[in-house]
Chains A and B, each alone.
Chain A
């Protein structure tokens, strides 16, 4: 089969943040030092090689970038300052845009101006929408009850519609990811039963990120876990218990205790990451793509406005609470609608999937080898 080479692949990946890929002289130090690099998925050197050779198609189906957690050891020890860790990060961004069938992701990653502009447009539209809706049937001076400016039942329905659309988008992209990594590989048979048997890996990796814990430094994993669990807790509270969260003025501690811890987790982890990217002391924070900043700032804004509207409401300043609520939604909507399927957030689906596929591929290859040796044994028996 002919292999198509894209000589401009490195230039393309550079738009996603990679630098110095051409400097690599393949000593293999990075692959040997990486705690995740195990056969058959040996990286990052091989990915650097594929990039240098312009093997776009091969890279499209590579799951190695998703196995990397960017602890930065490879970049620290790299004798050529070729930044393999940052290359893997850029490949993740690029792969996100490859999986995305709409092409929006590609536009966002290549142009932060386009991303920012779209976010602003969605923000403004969201604001206008909710204000119009609120004034059409509610009272800005009331936060809860039947005349509420933004009643929790309405928001609840809105949440579920948005969640459904996002899930559909992500499912399509995840399907494409499956196709590039597994589906299109000829001669690779993965029994349906294996998919089921290994399905437990998806929630396992999603909730624990246990591979991240394999990195030598455990700090980044803990911060990431805190951020992710806080986010997830918030999501559950909003999707299922929005009414209880908004009811007042009494504080329902069953839900609010979780909410407060999660808010602290979100704000703390976001500030930690922002500070790290600002100071550039840790290797994984030395390079920041514009999308990283947008993501963090948006998340922080959403978390802070969320806390504020809650505080205003409990303090009895319902007008302020309602206005802040709309501002909060003006952050939440673009964050979810744009960042989840098309940008950094998408990795919450792709990472566990990649690890799931990795196990399946190892299984399939072992089967294939067994088949081959059985075949050999049969032939030898015949002879």
Chain B
């Protein structure tokens, strides 16, 4: 079949060497012409039809980063040239591995498959490997919990490794979920307890993966378990230790708006339900055992071992699920919003804790009050349960998202959680005014648009136009923005500003990708095998991604993806075999495979 290849260059920083691809493609059988198209070139069907007719082309391959937009033009050209319009084949580098180790070699194999007329995923199939039946899940957020439970409920062994002292992740911090306004803890904590009690789940909290070896189906993973210094099974959570602990540091679980001791429970429903010691702030640890040690003396169960050392555990697993989640963008980076310098400018997570009944104010939404801290001998802004509630709240959308200066992508969840915040504010404070400053309201899920309409009907003002700055004038926060619909510049006094900060890949995702030989996308999210077709698989055999570590997503999508991962894991276990790593397939292998398929 006489084939013509048209290569489109897209981004100026092409990582694929298009010239090399063109040279390679010219030597493929039946290839008549290889043309490099200019990215800005206007391509019209009539002249293309002439080219096709002149070269008597029977098949056209469009190759490039994502050349799909040219398909309609070439289909029309092929029809005009009285050829078969179905013979326009796409070779999309982005779809089939834009971020692999050697993108040029991968691009060549993608073009080869298109020339042979074989779908790339069909030709690029790595060989089967036997599968060890145990599975490792990394990350104990809702994604990790869901995947672990689904696999373990099928009777298969799961190891769940979590970096912090408890499972639960971000969802445990939330007050309500959107759009149903369900209590987040009521959904999550039963699942957490199930994980803790499950006979087929071994939970390693306060632990991190330090080394990985082996191959798909038989991985050896080394886990470094940090010294908890409290015996998990003996601790009865009597709080005697934390009462005597002299150290106060800001609480991670309360997103920094309250304090905890050096020996602490992350939150009352933590799993495992036991105390742990934060070695970074413990006086005993810092002084090398010279000072303090009060908690160990006070513990009635003698379950505190202040001299416990880190442990290393070796695990043998067949498959690995990455569910490491996300972090929120550091709002300090965007100085014009005054976060970190102005009191009462809060990030989303801080507000979640403020409005949460288990938070420092018992769920009362109040502005910060200045209090004298005797220990530090200075005034501090704190959330006091008896503080004054705000009368006017501004919620700023897209903080650090859809912004080429920070993150170009949409973080997907912020519009919806901002609307939820508006509801919570209005529900809890009578007569409060709530204003949302947004660019586009992205209410994309089931019941989301209805939720947005409901919030508007409740009297929340939605202002189209993103705020440019938050400043303080005589103790009053001033929000400045453009109201696009009403053609006004707004200088708006408010008592509290909530920043809808975007999501960023979790700290350590890059190191983890290095450990596992996985690929990260430009923004740092894990790269999936095929965004549409295999959204939970990766280029490495037996390694899956679930939840927000792949891309920002909300709770329903995260849970669905985690269950999908479990299905993939269980499929391989029940077959006893799984696919190897696509990233290890060479060009010649893929080409040979494609040839074989054509000859069948």
Chain A residues near B (Cβ < 8 Å)? 25-33, 37-39, 42, 45-46, 77-81
Contacts and interface: CB of A to CB of B under 8 A. Distances in A.
B469 A33 contact: yes
A80 B404 CA distance: 6
Contacts of B483: 28
Contacts of B484: 26, 28, 45
B443 interface: no
14 contacts: A25-B440, A28-B482, A29-B466, A31-B482, A31-B489, A32-B465, A32-B480, A32-B489, A45-B482, A45-B484, A77-B405, A77-B468, A79-B402, A79-B405
B299 interface: no
Nearest to B334: A77
Contacts of B404: 78-81
A32 B488 contact: no
Contacts of A30: 468
Given A32-B480, A79-B405, A42 B468 contact: no
Interface in B424-483: 439-440, 464-469, 480-483
B40 to A, nearest CB: 13
A26 B468 CA distance: 12
Contacts of B405: 77, 79
Contacts of B481: 28-29, 32
A27 B466 contact: yes
Nearest to B439: A27
A28 B398 CA distance: 13
Contacts of A46: 487
B310 interface: no
A28 B466 contact: yes
Contacts of A33: 336, 468-469, 480
A81 B439 CA distance: 16
A32 B402 contact: no
Nearest to A79: B403
Contact of B465 (A28, A37, A38): A28
Given A27-B465, A33-B469, A42 B403 contact: no
Contacts of A42: 482, 487-489
Nearest to A74: B468
Contacts of B469: 32-33
Interface of A is mostly: loop
Nearest to B463: A28
Which of B403, B467, B490 has its CB near the most chain A CB atoms (within 10 A)? B403
A42 B485 CA distance: 12
B329 to A, nearest CB: 13
A223 to B, nearest CB: 26
Q: Shortest 8 CB-CB distances between A and B: which pairs? A: A28-B482, A32-B468, A28-B465, A79-B403, A27-B466, A31-B482, A33-B468, A27-B439
A263 to B, nearest CB: 42
Contacts of B402: 25, 79
A29 B468 contact: yes
A44 B323 CA distance: 44
Given A32-B481, A79-B402, A37 B440 contact: no
A29 B403 CA distance: 11
Given A79-B403, A79-B405, A39 B439 contact: no
Contacts of A38: 489
B457 to A, nearest CB: 25
B177 to A, nearest CB: 28
A28 B439 CA distance: 8
Q: How large is the interface on B (under 10, 10 to 19, 20 to 34, 35 or more residues)?
A: 20 to 34
Interface string B360-398: 000000000000000000000000000000000000001
B447 to A, nearest CB: 26
A200 B487 CA distance: 30
B489 A37 contact: yes
Nearest to A80: B404
Nearest to B402: A79
Given A77-B336, A79-B404, A39 B465 contact: no
Contact of B482 (A32, A77, A79, A80): A32
Q: Which of B398, B464, B468, B487 has its CB near the most chain A CB atoms (within 10 A)? A: B468
A159 B490 CA distance: 51
Contact of B398 (A27, A32, A39, A77): A27
Contacts of A39: 487-489
A11 to B, nearest CB: 13
Contacts of A77: 336, 405, 468
Contact of A26 (B439, B488, B490): B439
A9 to B, nearest CB: 19
Contacts of B466: 27-29, 79
Contacts of B490: 32
B439 to A, nearest CB: 4
B39 to A, nearest CB: 16
Interface in B486-536: 487-490
A33 B335 CA distance: 13
A42 B482 CA distance: 9
A75 to B, nearest CB: 11
Contacts of B467: 32
Nearest to B488: A39
B486 to A, nearest CB: 10
B12 to A, nearest CB: 14
A371 B561 CA distance: 64
A81 B403 CA distance: 9
Contacts of B465: 26-28, 32
Contacts of B403: 79
A81 B405 CA distance: 8
Given A28-B464, A78-B404, 6 more contacts: A28-B481, A32-B482, A37-B489, A77-B336, A79-B398, A79-B404
A37 B465 CA distance: 15
Nearest to B397: A27
A283 to B, nearest CB: 13
Nearest to A32: B468
Contacts of B488: 39, 42
A80 B398 CA distance: 13
A42 B467 CA distance: 15
Interface centre among A27, A29, A45, A78 (most CB of B within 10 A): A27
Contacts of A80: 404
A223 B13 CA distance: 38
A65 to B, nearest CB: 17
Contacts of B480: 32-33
Nearest to B407: A79
Contacts of B398: 27, 79
Contacts of A31: 482, 489
B233 to A, nearest CB: 52
B336 to A, nearest CB: 7
B269 to A, nearest CB: 39
Nearest to B403: A79
A31 B490 CA distance: 10
Nearest to A38: B489
B487 A25 contact: no
A334 B439 CA distance: 48
A371 B482 CA distance: 29
A26 B465 CA distance: 7
Nearest to A81: B404
A39 B490 CA distance: 10
Contacts of A78: 404
A46 B489 CA distance: 12
A33 to B, nearest CB: 4
A80 B468 CA distance: 14
A310 to B, nearest CB: 50
A25 B401 CA distance: 13
Contacts of A32: 465, 467-469, 480-482, 489-490
Contacts of A29: 466, 468, 481-482
A81 to B, nearest CB: 5
Nearest to B490: A32
Nearest to A45: B482
A8 to B, nearest CB: 15
Nearest to A23: B404
Q: Which of A30, A38, A77 has the most CB of B within 10 A?
A: A77
